[in-house]
Amino acid sequence: MKDIKVGKITVNMGVGESGEELKKAIKILKKITGKKPIQTLCKVKAPTLNIRPGLPIGAKVTLRGTDAVEFLKQAFLAKENMLAGKNFDRNGNFGFGIKEYIDLPNIKYEPELGIKGFDVLVSLERAGYRIKKRKIGKKKVGRKHCVSREEAIEFITEKFGVEIA
């Protein structure tokens, strides 16, 4: 029950506007993950940026299981197997950004899509975390069973061979 696993990976690309740039971002996410992205909507009003609530301004893909682990290995190769210690939060989750999608192995540049970066957010969990997500009989996960920052760093260094600076 104490074994840590990758719960999910969210690959996020914020564009800041709808239209042609958002369509390009969706194509890039579909190309690098192989899954269909969904649009993310704006939640705040910012007249100077011409955005309002409900306006699509980004796209994301959620990966689980073996797809998530395979994508994470490629993303670490794009970061040259190095992460900063500040990328981890106290709950064992971590995230990092990739400046150009062509940094991923086996991804070729397409001039019509341009150069865009994206964020990779990883949630680590243990067996039994379902009790906090289920509909009937929700419970809290005990403090001893939660993944800590140190355990997450140890898991990533052992399983994926990533160095933490």
Given a contact cutoff of 8 angstroms between Cβ atoms, the answer to whether 8 and 123 are in contact is: yes
* 128: β partners: none
Give the mean model confidence (pLDDT) for residues 84-95.
94
The residue range of the domain holding 137 is 4-164
Q: At residue 17, does pLDDT exceed 90? A: no
From CA 66, how far away is CA 69, in angstroms rounded?
5
> pLDDT band for position 75 (50/70/90)?
very high
- Distance between CA 104 and CA 74 in Å, rounded? 6
pTM: 0.89
**Structure confidence at residue 146 (pLDDT):** 94
Tokens of 10: 């969210």
Average pLDDT over the chain, rounded to an integer: 93
Average pLDDT over residues 90-99: 94
Q: How far apart are CA 114 and CA 25, in angstroms?
A: 10
Split into its structural domains, the chain has a count of 1
Query: What band does 50 get if pLDDT is binned at 50, 70 and 90?
Result: confident
Task: List the CATH number of the domain containing 34.
Answer: 3.30.1440.10
- Which DSSP string corresponds to 126-158? ETTGGGGT-SSS--PPPTTTSPPHHHHHHHHHH
Mean pLDDT confidence for 138-155? 94
